[in-house]
Amino acid sequence: MPLPVRSGNPGLNDRTFSSQPRALGAEAMTLQGAVNKSFLLLVVLLAGALWPWSQYMSTGDPAVVGPSVLIGLIGGLALGLVISFKATLAPYLAVPYAALEGLAIGGISAVLERRYPGIAIQAVGLTFGVLAVLLVAYSTRLIRATERFRSIVIGATGAIALVYLVSLVLGFFHVSVPVLNDATPLGIIVSLAVCGVAALNLVLDFDLIESGVAQGAPRYMEWYAAFGLLVTLVWLYMEILRLLSKIRRQ
């Protein structure tokens, strides 16, 4: 029976969960198991980020983090796509994925930190702050993932993905999209909106994980759920970092 929920996160969606066999007892996914694995992936991501961070902070040369960022971006994208299409591989690939994402965001954060001192810790604090607030709001049912709520968040997420894709394609022709990168009032408003959508995707992730547990998804889906949650957190962090850098440039 399909799960009655959807997520805008490509790493967490009802089709993936509903396509898995139903498990019972010790073989079934648990909420605590998903939480533990999410925490482990966060630790791995932070550990991976320390390497390019320390390299850049000791030399001040952006070139030293270039390979780490490139490997992290390409490797993370490749593993993320594999996990998204083959959930059974999540127990083996989720940790390497987290490490690769750490390399990418560690290098990017270090370069921005040197340019705007304090920006990285602000972005980390805001990311975990948003996570904590939304988790409490969801747990106490102050926020409910209704069908209308899901439709709005998923539609907004798809629109953002389309805009970013168009921006990427235009970049190959040396055409920029100012509203995404410029530190103008409109650019800041757009970044705030994107951060909001990324944050609301956390609510859908919480809801889908809870439903997966209720449906008796197999235990390996704990890793898949942790991976999907990490995808959203990394997106949220990078958008907050972008927003703070725009504010600092004004």
Check pLDDT > 70 for residue 224: yes
What is the structure's pLDDT at 175?
78
On whether residue 10 sits in a domain, the answer given is no
Which pTM value belongs to this model? 0.89
In-domain check, residue 2: no
Is residue 17 within 8 Å of residue 3, measured between CB atoms? yes
- Specify the number of domains making up the chain: 1
Per-chain mean pLDDT for the chain: 87
Using N-to-C axis directions, what is the helix angle for 66-85 and 221-249, rounded to 10°? 140
Evaluate whether residue 8 is within a structural domain. Answer: no
Provide φ and ψ at 220, rounded to 5°: -65, -15
* 90 in any annotated domain: yes
Query: What does the pLDDT look like over 42-63, one tens digit per residue?
Result: 999 999 999 999 988 888 777 8
Q: What is the pLDDT, as a whole number, of residue 104?
A: 95
Distance of alpha carbon 98 from alpha carbon 111, whole angstroms: 20
Rounded to the nearest 10 degrees, the angle between the axes of helix 31-59 and helix 66-85 is 160
Distances (CA, A) of 15 to 8, 93, 163, 190: 12, 20, 25, 31
pLDDT of residue 215: 83
Residue predicted with more confidence, 230 or 58: 230
Mean pLDDT of 127-131: 96
- Residue 245's CB is within 10 A of a number of other CB atoms, namely 17
- pLDDT tens across 67-92, in order? 999 999 999 999 999 999 998 999 99
pLDDT at 4: 36
Q: How many residues does the chain have?
A: 250
Query: What pLDDT, on the 0 to 100 scale, is given for residue 2?
Result: 33
Does 5 reside within a domain? no
For 211, the domain range is: 15-249
